[in-house]
Amino acid sequence: MSNKFNHVFLEYIWLDGNTPQKLRSKTKVVDNTETLELEGQAKQGYPESYPLWSFDGSSTKQSGEEEYGFKGTDCILKPVYVVDDPFRGGLHKLVFCEVFNPDGKTPHKTNTRNKLREILRDLKFKEYDANNKEVPWFGWEQEYVITHTPDKSKSHFKYDGGIPLGFGLGPDGKPREQADYYCGVGGTNVIGREIVEEHLNKCADIGLDIGGINAEVLIGQWEYQIGPVTALNGSDQLWVSRYILERIAEKYGFGISYHPKPVNGDWNGSGCHVNFSTKEMREKDGIKKILEACDKLKERHKEHIEVYGWENEKRLTGKHETSSMESFSFGNSDRGSSIRIPVHTYMNEKGYFEDRRPAANCDPYLVSHVMIETVFDKVGIITE
């Protein structure tokens, strides 16, 4: 998209105060000389050179916090991650932001990114370099369901976010049982591929570390992967990739549901499995460190579950490729365990493990924080 006056459109994106948090955005129009980034130095750098902005927190469940003496409705947007805008093209940017109180210094209580940033600072981990061998690596497997937008006048279904594509509107409008849809091919087995392919291309075009896509077990359900990435940068990427996905679905007139159990009954839920490794896990005899981490994760199972997603209890039942929410387990290639240790990790005696507990609607900042906190024995020692 171009304009003859060389204006640049900055799409400011942030997380609101809902549970789970939802994405919000609005456009700031600037002259192309107003920021350092717009001269093309680095595709993902210099977020601090972008201007602060504000928004009406009373409309996003983020009004001023009395504990800090702020009773107004304004909140401050502080840019923290910038990429090219794959929708508008040209010099236009997506500007992902943290939310601060009106003083611009204290993070808003909904700002979960700040908490992750603090523990990384305490551990002196470098960010924005997924190839840095000294830091933990994350790999996100984001499942989601493409849905019809809700229309109560036509549907008796009560699914979160609308009816999954592939489900009809009538009383008998259900597809055949799940068996043919996972990694399926053909119009009777998959639906929504045009949205998925466009999402893949747009993420790749702006340099996100998207690793692949596949159709999932439930009709209308898909997955994409982000990683390997570092904690803060990878969480930023996952949120931006979700934003891009929702914008594409919006264009086609559909919705995206991250609900952990989008359809009740004998249907798979939606997770956001996280693959994790430290430097020591990736080196010789790393399997010992992985098993040590599993012991630590078992001790803090409850604390992890608390931040692994809203209504995740509807998904973690011990059925449909999940573990029970009430207990912790780990196993060799076992998709019914809390932690799956891939077969090649056992064979090579080093590598990574997969935590299968996080729900599709989890906040990656909180998941990353509690994972690092547990594995590195940093519970409750972060300094302000």
pLDDT at 49: 85
In this predicted structure, what is the pLDDT of residue 148? 87
pLDDT one-digit tens code per residue, 88-132: 999 999 999 999 998 889 999 999 999 999 999 999 887 655 567
User: pLDDT tens, 155-174?
Assistant: 444 445 578 898 875 566 67
Q: What is the pLDDT of residue 162?
A: 73
User: Which of 172-201 are b and which e, b meaning 16 or more Cβ less than 10 Å from the residue's Cβ?
Assistant: eebbeebebbbebeeeebbbbeebbebbbe
Domains of the chain, first to last = 7-110 (3.10.20.70), 137-375 (3.30.590.10)
Residues 6+ apart with CB under 8 A from 253: 149
Q: Which residues of the chain have pLDDT under 70?
A: 1-5, 33-45, 64-71, 127-131, 150-161, 169-173, 380-384
Q: What residues are paired with 93 via a beta bridge? A: 10, 84
Closest CA to 143 of 271, 282, 34, 38: 271
Sign of the C-alpha dihedral computed for residues 198, 204, 210 and 212 taken in this order: positive
**pTM, entire model:** 0.92
3-state secondary structure of 257: strand
78 pairs with which residues across the strands? 98
User: Omega of the bond prior to 20 within 30 degrees of 0, cis?
Assistant: yes
Residue 156: predicted pLDDT: 46
Is-contact 325 359, C-beta < 8 A? no
Q: What is the pLDDT at residue 220?
A: 94
pLDDT in tens, 313-325: 999 998 988 888 8
pLDDT of residue 157: 47
